[in-house]
């Protein structure tokens, strides 16, 4: 096992402790552990942002997500950082920026996190007042996972997009 794999395994162990130790202790363990990573401040910032987000400190998480992305975070962590930043922005009252980021992710990338992008985009759309579009997006994502009625649900959800926005706001 190489040192990065060992570091990742230890990180996952710390994450299993979330909810079983105090938030202060959890944050300290993540901070201590991220200080050990060699050569990637982007990963360290991302993991600290995740820890702040998971313990209810979204305002502390936002600049760390931005820093991680600005430093060139790559791979699945990059996609997670964009999704989580968008969620944090929504929680911090920056809904339009959240929608922009998630639409960009939806249009330019595709992986196992596509449904997460749709779910968080639906939340941001709902928060912005675009309730019909939010419901449509959520139902389309859900339709892929049903054992039956996939096409029917998808078509019903597609029709929600055509309802004028004024009707969707109530």
* CA separation for the pair 100, 89 (Å, rounded): 11
pLDDT, tens digit (0-9, with 9 covering 90-100), for 46-77: 999 999 999 999 999 999 999 999 999 999 99
| pLDDT the model gives residue 160 | 85
pLDDT, tens digit (0-9, with 9 covering 90-100), for 95-154: 999 999 999 999 999 999 999 999 999 999 999 999 999 999 999 999 999 999 999 999
Indicate whether 158 belongs to any domain: no
| pLDDT the model gives residue 170 | 46
Indicate whether 47 belongs to any domain: yes
The residues with which 18 forms a beta bridge, in sequence order, are: 21
Indicate whether 140 belongs to any domain: no
| Total Cβ atoms within 10 A of residue 7 | 17
CATH number, residue 50: 1.25.40
Indicate whether 43 belongs to any domain: yes
Q: How confident is the model at residue 39 (pLDDT cuts 50, 70, 90)?
A: confident
Indicate whether 120 belongs to any domain: no
Q: How confident is the model at residue 165 (pLDDT cuts 50, 70, 90)?
A: low
The number of distinct structural domains making up the chain is 1
47 contacts 40 by C-beta, under 8 angstroms: no
Q: How confident is the model at residue 2 (pLDDT cuts 50, 70, 90)?
A: confident
- Kindly state the average pLDDT of the residues 18-30: 97
117 vs 39, residue with greater confidence: 117
- Kindly state the average pLDDT of the residues 75-83: 97
| pLDDT the model gives residue 168 | 46
* CA separation for the pair 60, 24 (Å, rounded): 14
| Total Cβ atoms within 10 A of residue 167 | 10
Range of the domain at 15: 3-92
Indicate whether 38 belongs to any domain: yes
Indicate whether 25 belongs to any domain: yes
Indicate whether 116 belongs to any domain: no
The Cα angle at residue 73 between residues 108 and 32, in degrees rounded to 5? 145
């Amino acid at each position: 096992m190489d040192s990065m794999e060992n570091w990742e395994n230890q990180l996952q162990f710390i994450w299993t402790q979330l909810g079983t130790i105090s938030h202060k202790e959890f944050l300290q363990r993540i901070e201590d552990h991220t200080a050990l990573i060699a050569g990637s401040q982007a990963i360290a910032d991302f993991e600290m942002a995740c820890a702040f987000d998971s313990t209810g400190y979204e305002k502390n998480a936002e600049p760390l997500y931005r820093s991680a992305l600005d430093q060139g975070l790559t791979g699945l962590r990059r996609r997670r950082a964009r999704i989580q930043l968008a969620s944090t922005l929504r929680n911090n009252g920056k809904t339009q920026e959240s929608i922009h980021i998630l639409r960009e992710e939806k249009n330019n990338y595709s992986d196992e996190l596509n449904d997460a992008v749709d779910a968080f985009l639906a939340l941001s759309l709902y928060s912005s007042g675009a309730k019909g579009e939010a419901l449509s997006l959520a139902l389309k994502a859900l339709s892929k996972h049903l054992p039956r009625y996939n096409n029917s649900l998808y078509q019903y959800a597609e029709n929600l997009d055509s309802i004028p926005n004024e009707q969707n706001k109530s």
